[in-house]
A and B are shown apart, each in its own frame.
Chain A
């Protein structure tokens, strides 16, 4: 029963999260140039147009390059910061960690945490 309820809840969350996707997918197979859902008529002509008009190639490469490099740059700056916060036990970072711990226990990790399965090495475990 509990498992059934849980699966139902997960399914509901998934459906809600992916709802915009279905709307967009539905709109993209509209036959005429309207924003109508459910779609009227069915055609792949917009998709063929996507492959005919290749004006997306430049924005796509821009997106890919910028997303990749900004991700890499942010990570290379952020990893030493995160490591430093742990390594040198910066005081205000403890507040952050307590917040994260609180979030985790709110998310149901508390049992594992208290059994010592998680955050075994956490120096900031709340007393």
Chain B
């Protein structure tokens, strides 16, 4: 979809937005866009059950007190859903940290992500112990980051007093 022969840039040329069709594959942004696109349905699915269990009276009360829908969303709904958002973020973060196929296909050597490095080390160079050591190192880093996120989330949640 981001490539030159069959990409959306051809569509933009057809509509007159661009002079020539170019390739957007292979690059930082294409990896980012593709992974976001993968994460999007997952994010909706994780958050939907908790959204559907919101108490309608709370938002109604906020509206009755004169808050606009947008303001209700940001000052009432988001703080209530803060743990949900954090959980969803951690799940997406860990999923994306382990992404292998997308960065392999869409990223050049400069956009290699860690999982691709491990795969290269284990499959191309046949150095499995080194790859395993890399993986353990990565696991430790990811776990530390997730724990920090959980800790920060607990702290802000307590401060919000929800």
Contact = CB atoms under 8 A, between A and B. Distances in A.
B19 interface: no
Contacts of A62: 28, 103, 107, 111-114
Given A27-B128, A50-B130, A50-B134, A97 B39 contact: no
A17 interface: no
A14 interface: no
B48 interface: yes
Interface string B51-76: 11111110100000000000001000
Contacts of B55: 120-121
B112 A70 contact: no
Interface string B72-91: 01000110010001001100
Contacts of B8: none
Chain B interface, DSSP helix/strand/loop, else mixed: helix
A74 B133 contact: no
B43 A74 contact: yes
Contacts of B145: 64
Interface of B: 28, 31-32, 35-36, 39-40, 42-44, 47-49, 51-57, 59, 73, 77-78, 81, 85, 88-89, 92-93, 96-97, 99, 103, 107, 110-117, 126-130, 132-139, 141, 145
Interface of A: 21, 24-25, 27-30, 32-35, 46-47, 49-50, 55-56, 58-60, 62-64, 66-75, 77-83, 85-87, 93, 96-97, 100, 104, 118-124
